[in-house]
Structure 1
Amino acid sequence: MGILSRASYVIRSKLNAVLNSAEDPSETLDYSYEQLRDELQDVKEGIADLTTQKKRLEIQKRRLEENVENHNEQARQAIEQDREDLARKALEKKKQKMSQIEELDSQIQQLQSQQEGLVEQKDQLQQRIEQFKTKKETMKARYEAAEASKRVNEAMTGAGDEMKDVGRAIERAEERTEKMEARSQAMDELQDEGVFEDALSDKDQLDRELEEIQSKGEVDAELDTLKAEMGKGDADETTDESADAEVTTDDLEAELAGGNGEGDVETPEVSDSEVESELEDLKEDEQS
């Protein structure tokens, strides 16, 4: 295979592939049906032309037959008038006309055979067209049903071209959303850690930590001042000193009793409820 032959083969194959991809079976079937109808019309026109020619030959044959009868009559009249020469000429013309009639009969028979053949072909073609029409409509219905089913399946499975574009758009939207969410979370985390400085402040992280400690100390000092103003701190200290004094007195009494050799002296026990009662009395006295 030469270069030109290979190039021609490749071009034809490419064109065939393009045509196959662009071909619509419904349109192709309709076109084929119209082509068959055009062929049927051509056959009918051919039959009409043959019939016309046959009719013309038949008319010509009838005229010749009339001429033959005229020549016969001329020959009789010539014989009656003893004009054998005229009778001979009339018979010669009759013979020529008879020869032409035979040729016309042959042509008419030939046209008749062709006409009958065309009529038979026309009937067969018309029958094929009717069969093709029925099959065409059936195939078109099947193709349209298959195409609709394919579109539904592609829509359900997302395998169609349009659904692919929609699915890809959704994927891109999800990717951008996830990226924005991750960036937002990262910015929040870095902001909490103090990585980013406030654009409106000239303080760094150390300054902010010192201010936080100072603020906490100021709150504690204000709380102590408030407690002192309300007498909460003095009452607690007085209660602690009284308890220490009582414990010291008890210890001294016990030591004195032991040093005089008079034996052990039972020290009265002070319950928690009594201590709490005394503390409540002291708080009420201070508030009054």
Structure 2
Amino acid sequence: MSLTSRLRVILRSKSNQALTRIEDPREALDDSYEQQVKSLQQVRLGLAEVATAKKRIELQGQDMGGRYQRLADQAQEALNQGREDLARTALERRSLLEGQVAAIRDQYLVLAQQQAQLQDNERRLAERVAAFRTEKETIKATYAASEARVKANEAASGIGSQLGTVGADLDRAKDRVTQMQARAAATDELLSSGALNDVTAPLDADLERQLSAGATRAAVDRQLQAMKEARATNRGPGPNARGGTDAWLSIGQGPSLP
């Protein structure tokens, strides 16, 4: 494979992988879920900031409330001591403090309303994120199961085609074996008949084989003649017909027939 072809294969593989990731709904669902989680985190961060600001104004208002009460006590004590001027000063400061308290009270109420709205938004968004997460995982599980089925079916289909190829290979092997067996039988016949020379046999082996075959035929003819003569003269089964368990020892060891 040339370098250009190899690069083309690599680029095609990477492109297919990228398309697979884009088409995979699980990644899209995960991305959407992450965006919703980020939005929820932003809402919670804003809620924390509003709650902090409201608490700070609340603490400031509590300090002003304590001072407001102390000024009232000081005005009363000044009157008790006959110091009307000090009582007037305390009441003037108390009156000024009332305006400041009214201003921060308005801010406090606005922040309290914002906090309530953010809490409601956070609750509803958290519920949507939780529901989306449940549905996302269900869809991902369904997709994974379907993908597994597709891969299993494709694998089974591939195995089926491979089995067909294997069957064809077996048929071809059987044909070759049959052809080889026929060829072996044919060469055996040719060797036996002398039509095919055995290059591994010693010189003049064909003459030895023919002489041996002729000797065998002559021996068979003599034995057959002896059996006929024995039957004609009632001499029994003929020579070499020994009995007993060791009769096999005499096979080929008896006197030669005339």
TM-score by length of 1: 0.50
Does the 8 Å contact 1:158/1:167 carry over to 2? no
Q: 1:215 to 1:90 in 2, by over 3 A?
A: same
Larger mean CA deviation between 72-81 and 93-102 belongs to 72-81
| AA in 2 matched with 1:129 | V
Shift of 1:61: 0.9
1:94 corresponding residue in structure 2: 94
Shift of 1:74: 4.5
Instruction: Provide the C-alpha distance between the structure 2 equivalents of 1:131 and 1:196, rounded to a whole number of angstroms.
Output: 91
- Is 1:116 matched with 2:100? no
Please tell me the root mean square deviation across aligned C-alpha atoms, in Å: 5.1
| AA in 2 matched with 1:57 | I
Instruction: Provide the C-alpha distance between the structure 2 equivalents of 1:173 and 1:129, rounded to a whole number of angstroms.
Output: 58
2:104 corresponding residue in structure 1: 104
Instruction: Provide the C-alpha distance between the structure 1 equivalents of 2:36 and 2:148, rounded to a whole number of angstroms.
Output: 29
Larger mean CA deviation between 47-56 and 30-39 belongs to 30-39
1:158 corresponding residue in structure 2: 157
Shift of 1:50: 3.3
SS of 1:158's partner is helix
| AA in 1 matched with 2:128 | R
Instruction: Provide the C-alpha distance between the structure 1 equivalents of 2:222 and 2:160, rounded to a whole number of angstroms.
Output: 73
2:138 corresponding residue in structure 1: 138
Q: 1:229 to 1:93 in 2, by over 3 A?
A: same
Q: 1:93 to 1:177 in 2, by over 3 A?
A: farther
Please identify the structure whose Cα radius of gyration is greater: 1
1:214 corresponding residue in structure 2: 211
| AA in 2 matched with 1:218 | A
Shift of 1:151: 4.7
Instruction: Provide the C-alpha distance between the structure 1 equivalents of 2:228 and 2:186, rounded to a whole number of angstroms.
Output: 46
Shift of 1:111: 1.9
1:248 corresponding residue in structure 2: none
Shift of 1:109: 2.8
1:17 corresponding residue in structure 2: 18
Larger mean CA deviation between 50-59 and 188-197 belongs to 188-197
- Unaligned stretches of 5+ residues in structure 2: 1-10, 235-258
List per-residue Cα deviations over 1:240-279 (Å, max 9, x = no partner).
xxxxxxxxxxxxxxxxxxxxxxxxxxxxxxxxxxxxxxxx
| AA in 1 matched with 2:211 | Q
List per-residue Cα deviations over 1:134-183 (Å, max 9, x = no partner).
4235324423442453355335x333xxx489759957985996698479
Shift of 1:58: 1.8
- Unaligned stretches of 5+ residues in structure 1: 1-9, 233-283
Alignment of 1:179-190 (within 5 A): 181=177, 185=181, 188=184
Shift of 1:16: 7.2
Instruction: Provide the C-alpha distance between the structure 1 equivalents of 2:100 and 2:205, rounded to a whole number of angstroms.
Output: 133
Does the 8 Å contact 1:190/1:196 carry over to 2? no
4+ residue segments displaced more than 6 Å: none
TM-score by length of 2: 0.54
Q: 1:102 to 1:166 in 2, by over 3 A?
A: farther
